Structure 1
Amino acid sequence: MAEKAGGVRDLEREDLPSVAELFQKTFRNSQPVRPSMIQYLREVFFDHPWYDEEIRSKVFIDKSGGVQGFIGVFPSRLEINGRPIRAAYAGSMMVDRHEQNPLAGARLLRSFLTGPQDISLTETANSLALGMWQKLALPLDIAYSLNWLRILRPTGTAIQVAERGLKAARFLRPVASLSDGVIERMGVKSFRAPPIHGAGRVNFWDASREEFAEAVLKLSELFPLRPKWDRASLDWFMDHAQEKRQFGKPSWRIAESRNGELVGCYVYYHRPGGIGWLLQAVCAPNVAGELVDDLFAHADASGCVAIRGAGHPWLTPELISRKTLFYGRAFFVAHAKDKSLLQPIRSGEALISGLAGENWMRLIGDDFD
């Protein structure tokens, strides 16, 4: 038995308080565990619409049965050219007292990778977790790992970044607003996104969440590797994404061509004075430039000091040409015994991130009251 000898086993419901405590200790500076967080862990790990008894999160336990490590595992249903495949995402990985359990992380990762899924993925590996994947000869996928930032108001952006390490920096926000205004009036080359004037060949508009969901379901068919969503499962992911409010409120945008054809959509979080965050963008390749322009203009008009996002390979060429910075923050890795499953990922034609991946979760960048 794993409980007697120590080692890796499947997550059980009774482990959730210990996992929550470990999460707070690892990622939230040992903040007290809230009952709402334990409830949330139960929802995402056991009430997931694609819950699979054979593809479960893993815990590393010591000889006395105490939880000392954890890797979150999220089952997914994908399809490649219409053929269903079994998938799993590896989320947060953490080990308590790593010096006493130096192999715990590697054992957790190996346990995940040897599961019954056809393809194993992660879009949120940090540099430490990435090193473990690479030791197993599993390299990162550059196209989906290109995190990016488009600065709109430089002083405001600097203060927002500073606040992550020093909460007192928030008192400088009024100074940032004044400083960015002075920069503009001095005629310094503007970082601001140009507004969209008039009707172009593509028209973007604010949509309801329901309209956005219908658009995503239709546009996902552009990708050979994509989630096997139905409306109920997509609504579940969107429910969780909408509760994630640390970055502001979500805006749902849809694009149509002049003849009324649906050609794109995106959702991003925004709040005045904050850094907006693109959760998901889906579009036909020939309108990627218009989507990026609309995103930047909308974020600017909403008062964002910057807008950022994870890897969307179909947007990268347009982002590069629009004053966008790229950096390493969260890394994407994929593994499959059948290498043909990886081809759409290698070519940047897989819808496997954002709402289709892990970033809809509140565990990534949100607080629990």
Structure 2
Amino acid sequence: MSQSAGQGSVRDLERDDISAVARLFQNTFRNGQEVPGALVEYIREVFLDHPWHEEDLRSKVFVGEKGELKGFIGVFPSRLQLEGRPVRAAFAGSMMVQEPERNPLAGARLLRAFLAGPQDISLTETANATALGMWQKLALPLDTAYSLNWLRVFRPVSAAVNAAERRLPSARILRPLGRAADAVVEKTGVSSLRLSKGATARRISFRDASENEFAEAVLLLSKSFPLRPLWNRAMLDWFIGHARQKRALGAPVWRIAESRNGDIAACYAYFGGAGRIGWLLQALCAPAIAGDLVDDLFVHADGSGCAGLRGGGHPWLTHELITRKAVFYGRAFFVAHSKDESLLEPIKSGQALISGLAGENWTRLIGDRFD
């Protein structure tokens, strides 16, 4: 399917486009380095061989008059359920345009083509400021609760060094200096950012878990959300398998909590390591024990030597994050659109499981390397 667009046109992604999409991705997000073969194969897998792939719900490309690929918007198909009712959903991600100054309308055309698709609800949890502006020009505002990116610092100097490494890898030579400086700050008593083990949960008991135990906990706890993925175990394992490979963020940690009678009460997974700013992939619990979960999460990450911890919007954790010295900032924005207002209500109330493993952040295209 193709739509004429002035100096170019928008059409569905084809298999022959994959190498060009990988080059565009590398030029846009990875400073124009040589395209790794692993990146080409990965783009093919997640956009064309996704287990929920549907022919009428494909990613879109913008091509010039001579057929050259100049833009792309990735479409991740999703199957949700609203209180048992199947919902066809799609997430938009990895939007990019070659020479946007020469193709100023290409991004907007790609977005409109995505929104015109057959899905019941259109979503994104990774819109940057530019993409957000395009959504808003179509009168589609961001969802504040799911757009609240947050950061909790434990070791400020090491956190600054780790942040610098993302732009300048050679800054890693400063890690020993960062550790020494944080140790001095801690001894002076000036910093109150570190945590005490006494902050851990009282009503529930957390422990390290296997990936299998974490997956079973996710399936169980997700049932409390009225709008949630239509997962079975095999499908959830596919998403977790992709997330597990994101080692540029550190090693994965799986944790679950049990109540006093042995029932599964909470779970979370994050990536981290000594001197790193860790990243929360997913956290699930009942609202009444959200504070216990955040306490255990922070104590565990701090005890593992993380310089800090960050994450995307988890509305059921927001209050507890605020009261535990997390700071909030705009980094990636969440937008949802549907003509069916009933699909938007759980999102507006923060009762939808549509982020992390249920959204886009499982993919290695966000925050991972392919070298």
Partner SS, residue 193 of structure 2: coil
State which of 307, 311, 327 in structure 1 corresponds to 2:329: 327
CA distance in 1, matches of 2:49, 2:246: 18
1:271-282 to structure 2, matched below 5 A, reads 271-282=273-284
Give yes or no for the alignment of 1:50 onto 2:39. Answer: no
Cα distance, 1:256–1:3 mapped onto 2, change above 3 Å: closer
1:206-217 to structure 2, matched below 5 A, reads 206-217=208-219
CA distance in 1, matches of 2:174, 2:269: 29
Does the Cα contact within 8 Å between 1:70 and 1:94 map onto a contact in 2?
yes
With 311-320 and 157-166 compared, the bigger mean Cα shift is at 157-166
| Aligned equivalent of 1:235 | 237
Give CA-to-partner distance per residue, 1:50-72, whole Å, 9 cap, x none. Answer: 11111110000001111000000
Does the Cα contact within 8 Å between 2:200 and 2:295 map onto a contact in 1?
no
State which of 33, 36, 43 in structure 2 corresponds to 1:34: 36
Does the Cα contact within 8 Å between 2:71 and 2:96 map onto a contact in 1?
yes
Give yes or no for the alignment of 1:316 onto 2:318. Answer: yes
| Aligned equivalent of 1:257 | 259
| Aligned equivalent of 2:305 | 303
| Aligned equivalent of 2:358 | 356
CA shift at 1:198, angstroms?
A: 8.0
State which of 325, 340, 343 in structure 1 corresponds to 2:342: 340
Does the Cα contact within 8 Å between 2:249 and 2:271 map onto a contact in 1?
yes
CA shift at 1:167, angstroms?
A: 2.6
If the length of structure 1 is used for normalisation, what is the TM-score?
Answer: 0.98
CA distance in 2, matches of 1:83, 1:59: 32
State which of 245, 248, 252 in structure 2 corresponds to 1:246: 248
| Aligned equivalent of 2:177 | 175
With 197-206 and 133-142 compared, the bigger mean Cα shift is at 197-206
CA shift at 1:136, angstroms?
A: 0.2
CA distance in 2, matches of 1:33, 1:198: 45
Consecutive unaligned residues of structure 1, counting only runs of 5 or more, are: none
CA shift at 1:2, angstroms?
A: 4.5
Partner SS, residue 7 of structure 1: strand
Cα distance, 1:187–1:130 mapped onto 2, change above 3 Å: same
Kindly provide the amino acid, as one letter, of the partner of residue 257 in structure 2: A
CA distance in 2, matches of 1:320, 1:57: 37
Give CA-to-partner distance per residue, 1:67-120, whole Å, 9 cap, x none. Answer: 000000000000001100000000110000112211100000000001000000
Does the Cα contact within 8 Å between 2:2 and 2:12 map onto a contact in 1?
no
1:83-102 to structure 2, matched below 5 A, reads 83-102=85-104
Partner SS, residue 367 of structure 1: coil
Give CA-to-partner distance per residue, 1:311-351, whole Å, 9 cap, x none. Answer: 00000000000011100000000000011110000000000
Number of paired residues? 369
| Aligned equivalent of 1:11 | 13
Give yes or no for the alignment of 1:184 onto 2:186. Answer: yes
Does the Cα contact within 8 Å between 1:3 and 1:65 map onto a contact in 2?
no
Partner SS, residue 337 of structure 2: strand
With 99-108 and 66-75 compared, the bigger mean Cα shift is at 99-108
CA shift at 1:42, angstroms?
A: 1.0
Give yes or no for the alignment of 1:109 onto 2:111. Answer: yes
| Aligned equivalent of 1:130 | 132
1:279-290 to structure 2, matched below 5 A, reads 279-290=281-292
Does the Cα contact within 8 Å between 1:3 and 1:62 map onto a contact in 2?
no
| Aligned CA-pair RMSD | 1.4
CA shift at 1:128, angstroms?
A: 0.2
CA distance in 1, matches of 2:288, 2:297: 16
State which of 265, 268, 271 in structure 2 corresponds to 1:269: 271
CA distance in 2, matches of 1:235, 1:296: 26
Cα distance, 1:190–1:3 mapped onto 2, change above 3 Å: closer
Consecutive unaligned residues of structure 2, counting only runs of 5 or more, are: none
Does the Cα contact within 8 Å between 1:256 and 1:263 map onto a contact in 2?
yes
Kindly provide the amino acid, as one letter, of the partner of residue 332 in structure 2: A
Partner SS, residue 177 of structure 1: helix
| Aligned equivalent of 1:63 | 65
CA distance in 2, matches of 1:14, 1:307: 40
CA distance in 1, matches of 2:238, 2:164: 34
CA shift at 1:261, angstroms?
A: 1.6
Cα distance, 1:356–1:3 mapped onto 2, change above 3 Å: closer
CA distance in 2, matches of 1:230, 1:273: 36
Does the Cα contact within 8 Å between 1:3 and 1:61 map onto a contact in 2?
no
| Aligned equivalent of 2:295 | 293
CA distance in 1, matches of 2:167, 2:45: 30
If the length of structure 2 is used for normalisation, what is the TM-score?
Answer: 0.97
Does the Cα contact within 8 Å between 1:265 and 1:282 map onto a contact in 2?
yes
Does the Cα contact within 8 Å between 1:196 and 1:297 map onto a contact in 2?
no
CA distance in 2, matches of 1:368, 1:172: 25
| Aligned equivalent of 1:120 | 122
| Aligned equivalent of 1:201 | 203
